[in-house]
Structure 1
């Protein structure tokens, strides 16, 4: 009779396994420790999409998730270091205003994985970047706006004129021009990621100049549209439930493809510095056009047909929306 002996690994043997490339074994058997550092509140739309995707992974039992909101730029590096020192394996955040500090921390913690919103390039070996490349649905919302405006004047309020904002506004403008060459734009930036009152005032000024549709890149714009009884186009999240008679449609950002990919690679020991930007595009389900909802019967059928046809061409690869990161300008 053959006796089966239990396999017992000595500490030295286990260390040898790790040395030949099996650190992912420990990750796969336990929850990945993930932390996030945000400079704005969870309710802010851009950060809210990242937070939502991470909370979903937490609910599935894949990660342990901790997050800090409203971190001042001056404190960002300190909070990053605290999370890295505490043993968090993956750290997520937005480094647009703190690029140098975030990249410095990544260099000091080469075994910690970083996935940061950034307009810059990945930094080997552990600093991956992402951005909301949702210019495709933004283009489609522009088509709807261009076909819905009666005054041929559209107001656009953005946060900062940086690539992640510029490319969406430019795509929106191009989409509007496709269906309505006569449309004119008034463009303004509030130089803040979260200042609804300031965005609202900027939008009021545009309505006063004849705009009957507002592009709500920031919170506060849809409030102005509602008060002045004009239409609004949403960005990143679907706010039509809050503004059923105001928000026609939105370009939605889904961060799940990027977050889920980073988690899997981290657990498999395959995480490396790369650009996650493409995973925000429609082909990866990282972005989409929201349902028309309450405006389903208010948007002309021929316009809906044009948008659906263009959407199908984007998804099939027959049509490519130009990525234009230049600062958009008001019409002359």
Structure 2
């Protein structure tokens, strides 16, 4: 066992003992936890303002503001440097390390194996490995909200020609696109889709250029999985549907609706497990489901009263069915194609 592992194990055991003593003297565990935040580090390959990572960062900052964690992070970490940054945070006494390892799966798991008493919670396209008990995975399973946004999109498009611009065709992107398309067909069965991936998580100019080409090819509504798409829609006077974050304030005449990801339930569960000393290999994807509070459909805002009431009634019906479990949005991780 490394010196770092011994330190972390003592911290976990010491924390449990402190909670027991505090309870005996009438202090609640919640008060103790608030007084002793756990150390959390984030490792991100893109800027923290990028849609997906911004939701993780926002949840971590909120937890820090509540006194639950002490949070530090690194952004724009290259794939070749990712393992090194993980090790540095592990050696710095952090108890929980979060991030996204879609392009560095093997290297990240190797690092986690070197620090068995530190909890790692990483965005991943793969599942947890029981042989690596301190490495849990998550992904933004917000297909429920994406499906609902598609219902509205189908009712708002005039031509039925919809453009969809994504980063990479990986499961977490693919499932949202498929769910959106399924929602569109609820209100526009004859809709056609132009699908393209730009090969980057953060290249607004390229996403914008791709969106322009789709508009030239007849699209009058765009699915903005990447930054830059809504800019193209705004400039050309067509509509857009947002993803992961709500950007309507920036595009009040363009973004009709957005499927929002809330990372808070995922992070809160991880913090709880670390505090209890019971963190283990698990798939945290379920905490992104709508019925777990991990996804919502953003308010229509400036488009209130502009979307057909029939579509809004269907959205409400499906939302209730999703929450009750009577309707389940299909999870399709295969690469979507233009159709």
Same fold (TM over 0.5): yes
Q: Are positions 1:126 and 2:134 aligned together?
A: yes
- What is the aligned counterpart of 2:188 among 173, 180, 186? 180
Q: Are positions 1:24 and 2:16 aligned together?
A: yes
Look up the match of 1:329.
337
Q: Are positions 1:62 and 2:60 aligned together?
A: no
Q: Is the 8 A contact 2:12 2:277 kept in 1?
A: no
* 1:149-177 deviation per Cα after TM superposition (whole angstroms, max 9, x unaligned): 10110000000000000000000001111
In the superposition, the TM-score normalised over structure 2's length comes to: 0.90
Q: Is the 8 A contact 1:24 1:266 kept in 2?
A: no
Distance in 2 between the 1:119 and 1:240 partners?
29
Question: How far 1:271 sits from its partner (Å)?
Answer: 1.0
Look up the match of 2:290.
282
Q: Is the 8 A contact 1:116 1:130 kept in 2?
A: yes
Look up the match of 1:253.
261
Q: Is the 8 A contact 2:12 2:275 kept in 1?
A: no
Look up the match of 2:24.
none
Unmatched tracts of structure 2, length 5 or more: 1-9, 20-32
Distance in 2 between the 1:20 and 1:208 partners?
58
Look up the match of 2:105.
99
Shift of the 107–297 alpha-carbon distance from structure 1 to 2, 3 Å rule, reads same
Question: How far 1:136 sits from its partner (Å)?
Answer: 0.4
Distance in 2 between the 1:80 and 1:20 partners?
20
Distance in 1 between the 2:150 and 2:36 partners?
45
Determine which structure has more spread, i.e. the larger CA radius of gyration: 1
Q: Is the 8 A contact 1:147 1:180 kept in 2?
A: yes
Question: How far 1:121 sits from its partner (Å)?
Answer: 1.3
Distance in 2 between the 1:303 and 1:265 partners?
41
Distance in 1 between the 2:241 and 2:175 partners?
16
Shift of the 209–38 alpha-carbon distance from structure 1 to 2, 3 Å rule, reads same
Question: How far 1:122 sits from its partner (Å)?
Answer: 1.3
Q: Is the 8 A contact 1:33 1:88 kept in 2?
A: yes
Shift of the 80–311 alpha-carbon distance from structure 1 to 2, 3 Å rule, reads same
Q: Are positions 1:294 and 2:284 aligned together?
A: no
Distance in 2 between the 1:74 and 1:270 partners?
31
Q: Are positions 1:45 and 2:51 aligned together?
A: yes
Distance in 2 between the 1:278 and 1:326 partners?
19
* 1:90-124 deviation per Cα after TM superposition (whole angstroms, max 9, x unaligned): 00000000101110000000011000000111133
Look up the match of 1:218.
226
Shift of the 20–34 alpha-carbon distance from structure 1 to 2, 3 Å rule, reads closer
Look up the match of 1:9.
none
Look up the match of 2:213.
205
* Residues paired across the two proteins, number: 315
Look up the match of 1:138.
146
* 1:52-106 deviation per Cα after TM superposition (whole angstroms, max 9, x unaligned): 0000010011111000000000100000000001111100000000101110000
Look up the match of 1:73.
79
